[in-house]
Amino acid sequence: MDRLIEKGLMFGNLIRVDSPVLVDRYNRALNHLCGRKTEQKVFHIDISGYSPEIGDEFGDDLYLNHKGVNRQFILLTTEQATAPLLNAKFSTSRGILRQFIDENRAELFALTARDAVAGELVNSVYLADSPAKLFDIRKITIEADTTSGTVAAAAKLGEMIDRFKTAPDGWYDDVLIADMIGMAKKTGDVVRNPVSLRQMSFAQENFWTAHFGGIYIFRGVDHPAAIVAGAKEDVGDLPIPFTFDFQDRSAIAKFLTLNDLVEPIIKARGIDAAAILHQKMDFIVASVAADMKADLTGATRQDMRRLGRQYADQLPQEWQGLAALLRWAEEDGPWPTITSEHPAYFYTLRAKAFPDAELVNRLLAELTPLDIRQLFICHKEAFYAAYAQWPDAKRAYVVDFLDREYQVDKAGTRHALFGHEASMTELPRVAQPDLITRVGPWGAISRERR
């Protein structure tokens, strides 16, 4: 993984903590949350305050995420909003933390000027010991305060001020006045400068979880289903109408189509579909060439064409299907028949514009592992796991490509590939009622046809 770290493709954009004052604040918050302290004097933190150096020190990568379902966080600065979330167990966690910081930026800036803010993404599930338990997660609420309890104290002072103003004998209550003065020394003037954080809750209808090998849960769609990365038999019965695994390609394709979640790349507006197809084909060629121990150092588009010709008889069906689609797009060739069972099918799709587009693109990335760029952008956990198994030649090529083609313009690349994705990251703030269980769409379609 050294290549990834060196190029900023792993542990990139973390916030460096090297000030004794900030280290002390972090330790107070860490002790407040989990009764521990670090001996590190310099370390890096992600958006939640998790530090890989401290994780190594403790021998516990989940020291701020007990059992993987109770994500705690430590904020030392509002700059953490741009940092990644490491060891993510739920796809929604980073978005929730980002929204919390963005909507409370002024308040958090004031609070973190004097202390660390510690908190938790609270849900009713403390232990996900079975896949079915994950479905009990319906809403995430954020609870946060400084380690000295500034926000709670400010709320209490506000109540005292109200009592002082409204109670008939408030002006003569010496004890109340003394308490107010003492509290104000701690919180400052809460009348002119209110110290409060917005109460925020987020509905959890559609999300991915790393638990049990990876599960995609889609409840907030017309036809709910769960899609598991492993074997569906291993997760048992789930409280949702349908459960698929990655072997159920036709069922997943039908699920995505019936819920109007995807669109063909070749028909999407505002993107250069041919260029995207060319690049996907190059990634497949690179994978084959790496397996054949070809030298991919500094490989260009011309090199990929040469290697494609050299190993033409070994290029898989994924490449053949994309090549047929490209001939239709660029050379007026016949429209190719690429069914959902064809290995190239999911390579031809992208998420439509809707609030959970990132989740769908994450699913498509896992269904198209040879597209290393989409895998890196949309599903870093799967990318790092795959990277560890690749031959060294492919690792070198992928790192070089991502460094040259993606790192220089991340936003531009994401817009070119997904178009609408950047504006789709805000999570729903109001919990939606459960969808009424209804007759499954697959049965309904067969009756319609009959």
Q: What pLDDT is recorded for position 180?
A: 58
Q: Quote the CA–CA distance of 21 and 27 in Å, as a whole number.
A: 10
Q: Identify the sign of the CA torsion 179, 104, 50, 126.
A: positive
Q: What pLDDT is recorded for position 159?
A: 62
Burial class for 7, CB neighbours closer than 10 Å (0-12, 13-18, 19+): middle
Q: What are phi and psi of 217, to 5 degrees?
A: -115, 120
Instruction: Classify strands 225-228 and 243-245 as parallel, antiparallel or unpaired.
Output: parallel
Are 72 and 33 in contact, with CB atoms under 8 Å apart? yes
Residue 152 identity (one-letter amino acid): A
Angle at 314 between CA 308 and CA 317, to 5 degrees: 95
Instruction: Classify strands 262-264 and 349-351 as parallel, antiparallel or unpaired.
Output: antiparallel
Q: How far is CA 389 from CA 1, 79, 85, 383, 385, in A?
A: 11, 34, 23, 10, 7
Residues paired with 217 in a beta bridge: 207, 226
Could you tell me the mean pLDDT of each successive run of 10 residues in the chain, 450 residues long? Answer: 87 93 96 94 96 96 92 95 94 95 90 90 89 94 84 63 67 64 59 66 94 96 96 94 96 96 86 89 93 85 90 94 91 87 95 92 96 94 93 90 86 80 53 37 35
Q: What pLDDT is recorded for position 133?
A: 94
The full 3-state SS of the chain, as one line of letters, equals CHHHHHCCCCCCCCEEECCHHHHHHHHHHHHHHHCCCCCCCCEEECCCCCCHHHHHHHCCCCCCEECCCEEEEEECCHHHHHCCCCCCCECCHHHHHHHHHHHCHHHHHHHHCCCCEEEEEECCCCCCCCHHHHHHCCEEEEEEEECCCHHHHHHHHHHHHHHHHHCCCHHHCHHHHHHHHHHHHHHCCCCCCCCCCCCCEEECCEEEECHHHCEEEECCCCCCEEEECCCHHHHCCCCCCCEEECCCHHHHHHHHHHCCCEEEHHHCCCCCHHHHHHHHHHHHHHHHHHHCCCCCCCCCHHHHHHHHHHCHHHCCHHHHHHHHHHHHHHHCCCCCCCCCCCCCHHHHEEECCCCCHHHHHHHHHHHCCCCHHHHHHHCHHHHHHHHCCCCHHHHHHHHHHHHHHHHHHHHHHHHHHHCCHHHHCCCCCCCCCCCCCCCCHHHHHHHHHC
Are 131 and 211 in contact, with CB atoms under 8 Å apart? yes
Residue 281 identity (one-letter amino acid): M
Q: What pLDDT is recorded for position 405?
A: 85
Q: Quote the CA–CA distance of 337 and 353 in Å, as a whole number.
A: 26
- Nearest residue to 434 (alpha-carbon basis) of 217, 164, 262: 217
Q: Quote the CA–CA distance of 41 and 19 in Å, as a whole number.
A: 8
Domain range annotation of the chain: 11-144+199-203, 261-424
> What's the predicted TM-score (pTM) here?
0.84
Question: What is the signed CA dihedral for 79, 82, 84, 90, rounded to 10 degrees?
Answer: 100
Neighbouring C-alpha atoms within 13 Å toward the C-beta of 29: 27
Task: Note the maximum CA span of the chain.
Answer: 93
